[in-house]
Amino acid sequence: MHGKLTLIIVLILLQLIPGCGSWSTAPAPEKPVEARVWPAPPATPRIRYVRSFSGPHDLGIVKPWYQRVAETIFGKTEEYFIRPTGVAERDGVLYVADPGAQALWIFNVPQQSFTKVTQINDIPLASPVAVAVRNDGSVFVVDSSLKKVFLLNPDGKLLRVFIDSGLERPAALAYDAVTDRLYVADSAAHRIGVYGSDGTRVSAWGKRGGGDGEFNFPTHLAFDGTGTLLVTDALNFRIQAFDRDGKFLWKMGRHGDGSGNLAAPKGAAADSQGHVYVVDALFDAVQIFERDGSLLLVFGERGTGRGQFWLPAGIFIGPNDRIYIADAYNQRIQIFDFLGGR
């Protein structure tokens, strides 16, 4: 009798949990919304809004049944971003650095699972600001307060402390798959460091200044499809480009508060055609340039709606020209597609 009563109670609890009354755990389909593109019709669209997400629920990732049972008894808890600043993607897996939540999020969309990393072994994360992903899915995360770079496996478990000392205020990462080297922007040192696969620094360049190859608080890094390293030279209000060995190639950008100027650059990345996208937190927008600095297009504005931003803090462009923007104070990642054309 006791066993039957227990079974009945468990079955009732499961029926109270959304998704547990049937085999399907698929989320309800999103309501169709009017497409948002830039430039606006009748011009040929170049950028299209895809979607945004603020946590696993927006990606259709359902918690395991035992967590849902516990939430039925003890109360529901939602997992969502606090202040995301860094984002990357590889093979459908999304990585988000969220210093507001003191966490690294890993969303394995194909497997419908996620991991929230708040502690690495016995070290609590303090300010994880950027990520970079290797070919095998292992991920580098830099903590600017701890002044360390960690290398984690695809499940978020520590492989090793990749850089343990020698950094003043690390702010950004870029991984070069061709050479298997990691590039680190040390913002307070006004320097870019290059590290081999064993974590040993093999080269570095930069000092404080306004000349070519000099920096005034470099804050973001990204490689384009040709192996050119884009450095957001934040307080020089420009983007500098280098080859893999640190040779200066070109620069673009100037300080100002109008279209085509840079006021508070928060990251740069390039699409497959070489266009340079610069996120600007003061404009709450993304500006797209040719390498010579010619302005091609601006998308975004201040707000909370689709394609609107509030202090955006980072950008990542995948090889398929999918664009990810860390919309920090809207507590979300927004996704766009580059549709081609010039």
Angle at 242 between CA 237 and CA 248, to 5 degrees: 85
18 preceded by a cis bond (ω within 30 of 0): no
Residue 158 φ/ψ, nearest 5 degrees: -65, 125
Instruction: Characterize 228-248 residue by residue with b for buried, 16 or more Cβ atoms within 10 angstroms of its Cβ, and e for exposed.
Output: bbbbbbbbbbbbbbbebeeee
Q: Can you tell me which residue has the tokens 């840079």?
A: 262
CA distance 186 to 169: 5
Global confidence as pTM: 0.88
Residue 91 φ/ψ, nearest 5 degrees: 55, 40
pLDDT tens sequence for the chain (342 residues): 445 444 433 333 333 333 333 223 333 444 555 789 999 999 999 999 999 999 999 999 987 666 666 667 766 667 999 999 999 999 999 999 999 999 999 999 999 999 999 999 999 999 999 999 999 999 999 999 999 999 999 999 999 999 999 999 999 999 999 999 999 999 999 999 999 999 999 999 999 999 999 999 999 999 999 999 999 999 999 999 999 999 999 999 999 999 999 999 999 999 999 999 999 999 999 999 999 999 999 999 999 999 999 999 999 999 999 999 999 999 999 999 999 876
**Residue 29 to residues 25, 26, 173, 189, 279, Cα–Cα distance (Å):** 12, 9, 36, 48, 31
CA distance 326 to 49: 14
Tokens of 280: 């600007």
Q: Can you tell me which residue has the tokens 């970079």?
A: 132
Please write down the HEC assignment for all residues of 8-34. HHHHHHHHHCCCCCCCCCCCCCCCCCC
**Residue 295 to residues 52, 124, 225, 226, 253, Cα–Cα distance (Å):** 26, 42, 20, 21, 10
Residue 33 φ/ψ, nearest 5 degrees: -125, 155
User: Which segments of 134-174 does DSSP mark as H helices, in order?
Assistant: none
Tokens of 200: 């040993």
What is residue 57's three-state secondary structure? helix
The distance from CA 135 to its chain's CA centroid, rounded to whole angstroms, is: 17
